[in-house]
Amino acid sequence: MEKQLTKETLLELGFKEEHVPTEESGDKPFTYYTYTVLDAFEREKCVLITDADTDNDGNFYVEFFNSPEIGVFEDYDVVKDLIRILNIPAKKNSF
């Protein structure tokens, strides 16, 4: 059985909790989670983002920010591996 992505498991993976108050949402407050991958110069390389806590039953999915065409990931072990791979330093292109 696959391990779900809950608030607790997202925090365990290093995701940051982001609270959006009513004033900013225009409706009701909600929470989502982000994980930022940095390059060797501490610049943002990519961001993983979850759905809002108001849009699910306590089990989240993760996707690449601004790249929904890649799809979503719902399994803890898959997201854990994805984070591990994204944090491997890449070799420079030779061109």
pLDDT, tens digit, 9 for 90 and up, residues 51-81: 888 888 889 999 999 888 999 999 999 999 9
Buried b or exposed e, range 48-57, using 16+ CB within 10 angstroms: bbbbbbeeee
Residue 85: its pLDDT value, please? 92
Residue 70: its pLDDT value, please? 92
Q: For residues 7 and 65, what is the distance between their CA atoms, to the nearest angstrom? A: 18
Percent of the chain with pLDDT over 70: 92
Residue 17: phi and psi, rounded to 5, are -80, 130
pLDDT, tens digit, 9 for 90 and up, residues 9-33: 999 999 999 999 999 988 889 999 9
Task: Report the DSSP pairing between strands 62-64 and 30-38.
Answer: unpaired
pLDDT band for 93, please (50, 70, 90 cuts): low
Helix (H, G, I), strand (E, B) or coil at 19: strand
